[in-house]
């Protein structure tokens, strides 16, 4: 018996989140590579500002990756706690 939910399905959400994180990192990695190429080739007007914007991008990229890591960890924890809750209910109330 599951307590109005399914811990395995919750754990499956963590797998989906990992997939989304991987896809996002692939795209942002491509952007990163293109910008780095531009930074090495671009000299003159605007290059300093472009470099500053790149540094902001790196911070945003790291922040969203960290947020995904937290989301995945919390989803896994939720699945574990949900499974323990179901077991606890079964053991306490013999359902």
Predicted confidence (pLDDT) per residue in 35-77, tens digit: 999 989 888 889 999 999 999 999 999 999 999 999 999 999 9
Other beta carbons within 10 Å of 7: 19
Map tokens 């952007």 to a residue: 31
pLDDT value at 25 more than 60:
yes
- Hey, where are the domains in the chain? 7-87
The whole-angstrom separation of Cα 54 and Cα 18 is: 25
Give domain 7-87's CATH number out of 1.25.40, 1.10.1660, 1.10.287, 2.60.40: 1.10.287
The whole-angstrom separation of Cα 74 and Cα 79 is: 9
**Is 68:21 a contact under the CB 8 Å cutoff?**
yes
**9-19 per-position pLDDT tens digit:** 999 999 999 99
């Amino acid at each position: 018996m599951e307590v109005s939910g399914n811990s395995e399905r919750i754990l499956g959400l963590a797998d989906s989140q990992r997939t989304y994180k991987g896809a996002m990192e692939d795209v942002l990695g491509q952007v990163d590579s293109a910008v780095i190429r531009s930074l090495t080739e671009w000299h003159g007007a605007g290059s300093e500002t472009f470099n500053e914007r790149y540094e902001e991008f790196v911070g945003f990229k790291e922040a969203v990756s960290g947020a995904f890591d937290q989301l995945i960890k919390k989803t896994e924890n939720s699945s574990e706690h949900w499974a323990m809750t179901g077991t606890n209910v079964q053991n306490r109330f013999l359902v």
